[in-house]
Structures are given as structure tokens and as C-alpha cells.
Amino acid sequence: MDAVLSALEKEVVDVFVKVAAIVNLPRSVGELYGILFISPEPMCISLLMKKLNMSKGSTSQGLKILRSFGAVNTVYIPGDRRDFYEAEAQLKKIVGGFINEQLRPHFENGKERIQQMEQLAKQSGEEFFIERIDRLKGWHKKAAMLAPFAASFAKADG
């Protein structure tokens, strides 16, 4: 495989870099997923580094993040000792993994923090603080309700 990105590869990588930015993931994660998504063959770390002009550390860290929520799979190539990677192409698996690994822990931590803020607001006796924390509690509840919606949306994988 050529170590220079084709016009198509550049466009696909750019799309996933923008998606990574939206969900607050490092640029390298979008670049790696994009090149793996458009690659017909699994790729090893050294080729990913060459194609994306990326350090080994950024490549390894990006792959670790992608593996953590099931966006890439490790592939065995007979006769080769290196690890090869391919993109998971089913949206429901990626979104489900992302929700479990990235969002759910934040919602759990957020719930505990809001409870702590609620106690502090009540201790202050200031109605303004109590109202603001109630509003924050409502926002958190609505945001937590979006996670299952996102997962069900992804099941209609196209």
C-alpha cells in the first residue's frame, strides 16, 4: 500500500477528524479510524504511522482509544508477528462501545457531583443556588436520556 494518502483517503480521514473533534476525542483518533475505515486491507502500526505521518506514541494511544470502544479490531495475518487493525464498520457497535466507555462513566460521576452540589446549595440557604443546581440536575437527566436514544438510533445502521 502506498504511504501517501490518496484524495479519497484524505477526504474520509478529514470527515472522521471532524467527528472526533465533535465528540472531544484527539485528532489522531479520527485520523486512524478514517484511514482504517477506507482501507480494504488491515493495516499495521508502521504503515499507519507512515500514511498519517504520526508518531508511534500517538498511533498506539489512538488505537488503544479506538479498541476501548470497539471501533477497531485486531486482525491476525498468518506468518506475520505484527498486529494488524481494521475498522469496525457497524455503527451500532461503535456507538454502543462509545456510550459504555466514554459517556456512561461521565454520567455516573456527574450524578454524584450534582448530588454533592445540591447538598452544598441547600446548606447555603440561597434560593438562587438551589434553583441553579435544580436546573443543572434537569440538564443532566435529559443528557443521560440521550445515550439510549443514540444507541437505538445506531441500530438502524446504514
* pLDDT (0 to 100) of residue 50: 95
Q: Quick one: which H or E segment has residue 72? A: strand 72-75
Q: Report the distance separating Cα 16 and Cα 128, nearest Å.
A: 42
Instruction: List pLDDT tens digits, range 41-97.
Output: 999 999 999 999 999 999 999 999 999 888 899 999 999 999 999 999 877 777 777
* pLDDT (0 to 100) of residue 7: 92
Q: Which cell is 112 given?
A: 454524584
Does residue 12 carry a pLDDT above 90?
A: yes
pTM for the whole structure = 0.70
Count of H-run helices and E-run strands, the chain: 7, 3
Q: In what order do the strands lie in the sheet with 72-75?
A: 43-44, 84-87, 72-75
Instruction: List pLDDT tens digits, range 90-135.
Output: 777 777 777 667 667 777 777 888 889 999 999 998 899 889 999 9
